[in-house]
Chain A
Amino acid sequence: MKVKITPLRILMYIILIFLAFGYLLPIWSAITTSTKTGEQVALTTPIQLILPPYFGAYKIAFENLKRPIINSLIFTTLATIFSTVLGSLAGFTLAKLMRGSVSKKLLILITFGVFLPYQSILIPLVRLISSLGLYNTIPGLVLTHTAYGIPITTLLFTNYYYEIPDELVEAAKVDGASAAGIYTKIILPLSMPAFVVTAIYQFTSIWNDYLFGVVLTRGEEAMPATVMLANLKGSFVANWNVQMAGALIVALPTLIIMIALGKYLIRGYTSGAIKG
């Protein structure tokens, strides 16, 4: 379709390009700063790119972040799997096995957890995890992230399963299939898009979490990458180039997901909001 060039359109492009610079500025200056020596950081402006790049800051940042990144990869992957599977099972039950107002009420009860300000459960959470002997452990983080992931995964899956026609389930029931059979033979194969969206959403939010990590860990054994990055920022040893390198390393998994699988991540974020 041909679009007429009007002064308004030109103004729109100017605003969009100006804003794009503004949105990129913090990320761009992180890239340029992270590839400089400490001396270059002091002598050049933050937006100036120095070539050839210097990777020493990345080395220092990575040495500090290695263990926490491995921790984060482990507990994020496990909690993503558990919360996604439990959300799918709960969603299937609420949307297809149960009917009417009980199912609706249970869904609201579970969904409220999406909006819960985590501060209001923080003290009991630390007590609970400590008394289970899971303080400062990977299983403690897995359990916590699984539990607080269930409200959103259940919401996403229930909404998805509402769209699958009831007739499919009824027909299978007439043929004598059990609920487990219906789930594995009919629902699961149809659920792959929902699994992708939910798992990506969960991986990103668990990887990005800081609050649970900082109150449930101490020392390196289980510390998440975000907590270590915040420590790096607070320590006097770290210079701006090391801090920026650290920030970009910790941001890498979610940035890759956003650029490569952005539409799935976005579907996770919007499906709750558009459907209400």
Chain B
Amino acid sequence: MRKSPDLPYILLFLGPALILVGIFVYVAVLWNIYISLTDWRGLLPSYRFVGLLQYKQLFHDPVFWTSLKNNILLLLLFVPGSILMGLLLAIMLDRKIKFEGGFRTIYTLPFALSFVVTATLWAWMYDPSSGVLNTLFEKLHLEFLESRWITDPNIAMYCIIIALIWQFSGYTMIIYLAGIRSIPIDHYEAAVIDGASTWQVYRYVVIPQLVKPTLSAFVVLMVFSLKAFDFIWVLTRGGPGTSTFILAIQMYKETFAKTNFAYGAAIATILLLMALAVVLPYLYWSYRGEKE
């Protein structure tokens, strides 16, 4: 780098940010990986290096496979579910709907709430004895729809996914509305003059322009689905049994309930690798276009 009179200011302005990110992100990540290669357990500072032993144990741990399966379930249902719901809402709201602002506010309200708040609300929705859904179905004489919801290990994970789509579809809707509205109006007009039907306008003008927002939403939701800890932890603590464990929950339990630090760190490293697999191609793709 050439010497410039700005150099002291560069150090002064960028320094604090770089130091904090350096320590709290990069040093911490490496430190965690190092812990995962030791046998650190309990409160004893035994830091014996044991190589990949924790990972070997992890791959023989049935709870790990349950957690991984639930992470994949979130990836396959929650991520596309939120994206499709958001796209549907955005397309409908874009078609000159009366009270558009009102609808938009209603759909985005859940997104402003914290996971602890939404988990509390949905615990009441799903409460099997006197909760909102079962009482409502009873009153409407739809008793066949009553269920044990989050206390039924077979469907608890799906209950969580529905609540998460409720919370996140407002976010994807906003992204898509902004995306649709940033398409220049003459693109539409040109298509209509050429005699395109509504369906064709969406197929050939709108949808192709939404690739970038879709990719961004995918990355944000996928990374979120890896760490959807707060909501599940507060709603079910991972139960019944281990039926709603995801890797983030297993990591938390191993680390803070069982003080099995090295094992928790190994799960955390797997989570990091999964996030990297999503984020690195995305970062490469999104900055590639800007290279000078």
Contacts and interface: CB of A to CB of B under 8 A. Distances in A.
B78 interface: no
Contacts of B271: 117, 119-120
A73 to B, nearest CB: 14
A110 B21 contact: yes
Contact of B248 (A100, A106, A117, A147): A117
B161 interface: no
B56 interface: no
Contacts of B217: 273
Decide if the interface of chain B is mainly helix, strand, loop or mixed. Answer: helix
Interface string B122-148: 111101001110011001000000000
Contacts of B132: 25-26, 29, 46-47
A23 B166 contact: yes
A113 B268 contact: no
A97 interface: yes
Interface in A133-154: 144, 146-148, 150-151, 154
Contact of B107 (A19, A92, A148, A250): A19
Interface residues of B, number: 104
Interface stretch (A52-60, A190-198, A255-263): A255-263
B242 interface: no
A250 B119 CA distance: 13
Interface stretch (B57-65, B188-196, B219-227): B219-227
A16 B92 CA distance: 8
Interface residues of A, number: 100
Contacts of A209: 114
Given A20-B106, A244-B120, A97 B25 contact: no
A144 B109 CA distance: 27
A80 to B, nearest CB: 15
B227 A118 contact: yes
A54 to B, nearest CB: 17
B174 A270 contact: yes
Contacts of A30: 121, 124
Interface string A97-111: 110111010101111
Given A27-B109, A274-B213, A276-B212, A124 B31 contact: yes
A276 B223 contact: no
A23 B166 CA distance: 7
Contacts of A29: 121, 124-125, 132
Interface in A196-217: 204, 207-211, 215
A258 B255 CA distance: 35
Interface string B208-238: 0000110111011001001101100110000
B3 interface: no
A208 B274 CA distance: 25
A128 B28 contact: yes
- The 9 A-B pairs of least Cβ separation, nearest first, read A208-B114, A258-B112, A179-B9, A276-B286, A121-B28, A273-B216, A120-B272, A147-B24, A90-B17
Given A24-B109, A208-B115, 8 more contacts: A9-B95, A12-B95, A89-B17, A90-B17, A122-B252, A151-B25, A262-B108, A274-B216
9 contacts: A12-B97, A23-B110, A23-B170, A93-B9, A93-B10, A116-B29, A117-B223, A210-B114, A274-B179
